[in-house]
Chain A
Amino acid sequence: MTDFIRLTDVCKSYTRGKESISIFDRLNLVIPKGDFVAIMGPSGSGKTTLLNLLGGTDRCDSGQISFDGERIEGYSEGQLTAWRARNVGFIFQFYNLMPILTAAQNVELPLLLTSLSAQRRKENVLTALKIVELADRARHKPKELSGGQQQRVAIARAIVSDPKLLLCDEPTGDLDRSTANDILSTLQLLNRELGKTIIMVTHDPEAARFATRTLHLDKGQFVEVTT
């Protein structure tokens, strides 16, 4: 497998008041194409920070981040925004759907950033909703759907523009066991059938089992790798 994502000597620190807290100091990481990685670690260890760096929603202080051969660490705010829209799908712990939009309208959002016609957008939305088995709920508002269904809509939104990378921050953190397993099976299917590279942060060892491998993040370094 080829290097898909490569972090080289990445440093990231936050300043809070006068003091500066180092989250990563020369972090190195390679993720091959088609991988499904679970990232575990204690609270505050920097898991969300890592996803923000990988997804281009935050910048590192130094080091290199390359994605499919493209170096993104030097991109401007606008370039990063356009790059995210093309390459990354995001799945959040609390779904982050727009409450006033229907399921279909929520799923359509990333397509509004493309040049697709309204007709093509409609077709792609339907396809994405079919993949998460929610085509019959297209006209429902988020508040008319269960937590698991809302997360499925969010997954459909993440995959509708066909990005290569999916970033999930505790996608089952708010769901019960069996609903969580459904969601994780869906992610597994996206990884196996559609070849999506998935990086998933989770607290739940059961969830991690759906991934192909697990990385443990502690004190700014990956301390243990299990296969």
Chain B
Amino acid sequence: MSLLNQTGSVILMNIRSIPQRLWMSLATVVSIALVVAVLLGFLALANGFSQTLKGSGSSDVAIVLRDGSQSEINSTLTREQIVLLGQGPGVRAAADGGPLVSAELLLIVDGIKRSTGTKANMPLRGIGPNGLVVRQQVRLKEGRMFAPGSNEIVVGAGLLREFSGFEMGKTVRFGAQTWRVVGVFEAPGTVFESELWADAPVVQSLFNRGSSFQTARVALTSPAQLDAYTAYVGSDPRLQLQAQSEQTYFAAQAERSGLLIRYIGWPLGVIMSIGALAGALNTMYASVSARATEIATLRVIGFSGFSAFMGTMCEALVLSTVGALLGTAVCGLLFNGLSASTLGAGFTQVAFRLQMGPELVLQAIVLALVIGFVGGVLPGIRAARQRPLLAL
């Protein structure tokens, strides 16, 4: 009881004396807030990116690539292979009675980024009528779909947010050909929203692809059919292809690219933390020396060194907690939900929104508390070692 009383009252005295060191304490709070905001920003970036990729895949759609291809961009499929793919087990039937297989092309074209005015790579996807059927998330927001056989494109809403020149009715030039934008589609939280779509046969002929495709999406009757279908694709020597669920494919992409952002965010957060820690140590040592006489007096009266330690430690933790909350608030107001784009799989741009989420906030707050704890330990020990002498 007495230990609780004396420690509690020393902690209160420390905290109530913070205004006496207002500017220094504020500087510490701000530097910790900065660390938290930057780290959270990066984590939210990585999180939003991963979520978008993960949200793009269905579990009952198999994506088929050439054996050894990591992404759609560097895969090729022949028309004969596409026919064989439709004959596999568990393939859903399309409205026309044939297999529901969407043979697609994915090419890189140039666009202009709104924020920087610089050139960027954009994905142009050639699809047929089945392309929409295997992507149930897609809704036409404005205009209409491209007409088969014409130089028309529809544009994803996410791409439109980030890049200029693709507004409804605009004419764009890729290579020697001009294309007209006739529609805008939405597929919230997926990478498809960052793509341009055109009719597959037109893309084949204008980009000299002959009759070849790059990937196929095969709709299965249920996710349970995936193993059997994958085995079928892997075992037929005429195919030399690999199948996986679309969900697995995008999750792997998310893993790779999300890690990259995280690998920038954490080291940067740690480096900034070292700066903030130096500031926190400085502030807490100043607090201990400003209160040296008070601490010595309390020690003379009979207060323990432990209570002096706890007072200093809790002051540091309070400053870092305030910093953490401030940083979280700043990040939440400035970044959360902000749309961004970055290089995704195959070096094309993916548009997504930053997502903070409670686990990320927790990580940033833990980092702030670690800064506060380390910044409080050494000055706390100095406070505890203050000699209880009558005259100093």
- Chain A residues with Cβ below 8 Å from B301 are 84-85, 90, 109-110, 113, 157
Report the separation of the CA atoms of residues A58 and B391 in the bound assembly, to the nearest whole angstrom. 11
Is A189 in contact with chain B by the CB < 8 A criterion?
A: no
Is A62 in contact with chain B by the CB < 8 A criterion?
A: no
- Chain B residues with Cβ below 8 Å from A85 are 301-302
Q: Is the CB of B300 within 8 A of A57?
A: yes
Contact of A113 among B2, B13, B305 (CB under 8 A): B2
Is B17 in contact with chain A by the CB < 8 A criterion?
A: yes
Q: Is the CB of B390 within 8 A of A57?
A: yes
Nearest-CB residue, chain A, relative to B14: A100
In chain A, positions 98-115 with a C-beta closer than 8 Å to chain B are 98-101, 109-110, 112-115
Q: Is the CB of B389 within 8 A of A81?
A: no
Q: Which of A19-27, A48-56, A129-137 contacts B (4 or more CB under 8 A)?
A: A48-56
Contact of A84 among B20, B300, B391 (CB under 8 A): B300
Q: Is the CB of A48 within 8 A of B1?
A: no
- Chain A residues with Cβ below 8 Å from B13 are 98, 100-101
Q: Mark B312-328, 1 if CB is under 8 A from A, else 0.
A: 00000000000000000
B interface size (C-beta, 8 A): 25
Report the separation of the CA atoms of residues A84 and B303 in the bound assembly, to the nearest whole angstrom. 10
A87 to chain B, nearest CB (A): 10
Q: Is the CB of B2 within 8 A of A81?
A: no
B352 to chain A, nearest CB (A): 50
- Chain A residues with Cβ below 8 Å from B298 are 98, 109
- Chain A residues with Cβ below 8 Å from B9 are 109, 112
A91 to chain B, nearest CB (A): 10
Is B299 in contact with chain A by the CB < 8 A criterion?
A: yes
- Chain A residues with Cβ below 8 Å from B282 are none
Contact of A92 among B297, B304, B388 (CB under 8 A): B297
Contact of A112 among B5, B17, B299, B388 (CB under 8 A): B5
Contact of B2 among A52, A84, A109, A114 (CB under 8 A): A114
Known A58-B389, A101-B13, A169-B390; judge A113-B302 contact (CB<8 A): yes
Nearest-CB residue, chain B, relative to A95: B297
Report the separation of the CA atoms of residues A112 and B298 in the bound assembly, to the nearest whole angstrom. 11
Q: Is the CB of A96 within 8 A of B302?
A: no
Report the separation of the CA atoms of residues A48 and B6 in the bound assembly, to the nearest whole angstrom. 27
Is B293 in contact with chain A by the CB < 8 A criterion?
A: yes
Report the separation of the CA atoms of residues A48 and B391 in the bound assembly, to the nearest whole angstrom. 7
A interface size (C-beta, 8 A): 30
Q: Is the CB of B304 within 8 A of A98?
A: no
- Chain B residues with Cβ below 8 Å from A30 are none
- Chain A residues with Cβ below 8 Å from B302 are 81-82, 84-86, 110, 113
- Chain B residues with Cβ below 8 Å from A99 are 17, 294
Q: Mark B265-294, 1 if CB is under 8 A from A, else 0.
A: 000000000000000000000000000011
In chain B, positions 14-71 with a C-beta closer than 8 Å to chain A are 16-17, 20
B134 to chain A, nearest CB (A): 69
- Chain B residues with Cβ below 8 Å from A77 are 305
- Chain A residues with Cβ below 8 Å from B20 are 100
- Chain B residues with Cβ below 8 Å from A96 are 293-294, 297
Contact of B388 among A51, A57, A93, A101 (CB under 8 A): A57
Q: Is the CB of B16 within 8 A of A112?
A: no
- Chain B residues with Cβ below 8 Å from A57 are 299-300, 387-390
- A–B complex contacts, Cβ < 8 Å, 17 sampled: A57-B388, A81-B302, A82-B302, A84-B302, A85-B301, A86-B302, A92-B297, A92-B390, A93-B391, A96-B293, A96-B294, A96-B297, A99-B294, A100-B13, A101-B13, A112-B9, A157-B301
* With A78-B304, A90-B300 already in contact, 8 other A-B pairs whose C-beta atoms are closer than 8 Å: A81-B303, A85-B301, A85-B302, A86-B302, A109-B301, A112-B5, A113-B6, A113-B301
- Chain B contact residues, CB within 8 Å of chain A: 1-2, 5-6, 9, 13, 16-17, 20, 293-294, 297-305, 387-391
